[in-house]
Amino acid sequence: MRAPYGLNILDNCVSCPVRGEHLFCNLSLQAAQRLNDVKSTAVYPKGAMLFIEGQQARGVFVLCTGKVKLSTSSREGKTIITKISDSGDVLGLNAVVSNRPYEVTAEMMEPGQANFIPRDSLLHFLRDFPEVAVRVAQQLSRNYYVAYEEIRTLGLAASPSEKFAKLLLSWSTKSAQDDGSAQVKLTLTHEEVAEIIGTTRETVSRLFSEFKRKQLMTLKGATLVIRSRMALEKIVQS
């Protein structure tokens, strides 16, 4: 189905072309049919808020297309981006399962589609399909380790250069080539990168210039070319 923003709506979980790749996609036929019955589909513009930090959890969002920025803010207004979510991610899962308020704000970074599953429907779904409940438990465990690694990066990294190198390495994992290079589509502003690694926009601008001068990376339009993952790993290890 054609929708606004030139998107193709994925309105049927059973026939979804990527249903074999993600947590709530790679399900048995019976489970996929139940999921199809309890979810509602919507298309969101860039900047739309799926949920806000501190809001009582009312359900989860399964991101079908687009990217979502997850962030948390202090009382003083300082913001940290905890994750950039991509297609297939289930947003709000921790809060919904624990029956606590959403711990982050979820904002669309580009137009995309998300399926919403109300909390009660999700809990009944997990009770009726134990294999899905096990996957959710595994996902929550992975979320814990990701959060742990984020704390290590922000709290134990010796310098902004090390944090920046770690971020570039994490971006390049999926696109790494045999020669150690990688290409990444850069969709974040310097301000957003600063919010990920816990520094200032000015520092991030300086790091981009420094890494380009050292030929660790180049920018071609919106494409970030990492010339050597090994060189970045040396920065992290130092």
The dihedral region occupied by 167, where left means phi > 0, alpha psi between -120 and 50, and beta the remainder, is alpha
Which stretches of the chain drop beneath a pLDDT of 70? 1-7, 9-22, 153-158, 238
Helix (H, G, I), strand (E, B) or coil at 92: coil
pLDDT of residue 3: 61
pLDDT of residue 7: 67
Quick: pLDDT tens for 163-204. Answer: 899 889 888 887 778 777 889 888 899 999 999 888 899 999
Please, where are the H alpha helices in 62-189? 93-98, 119-128, 130-156, 160-172
Q: Which amino acid is at 177?
A: Q
| Cα 222 from chain centre | 19
pLDDT of residue 178: 78
Q: Which residues pair with 43 in a beta bridge?
A: 113
- Tokens standing for residue 203: 């520092």
- The arrangement of strands across the sheet holding 59-65 comes to 40-44, 112-118, 59-65, 90-91
Q: What top-level class would CATH report for the domain 160-237?
A: mainly alpha
Q: What top-level class would CATH report for the domain 4-156?
A: mainly beta
Task: Please state the domain extents for the chain.
Answer: 4-156, 160-237
User: What is the pTM assigned to this prediction?
Assistant: 0.80
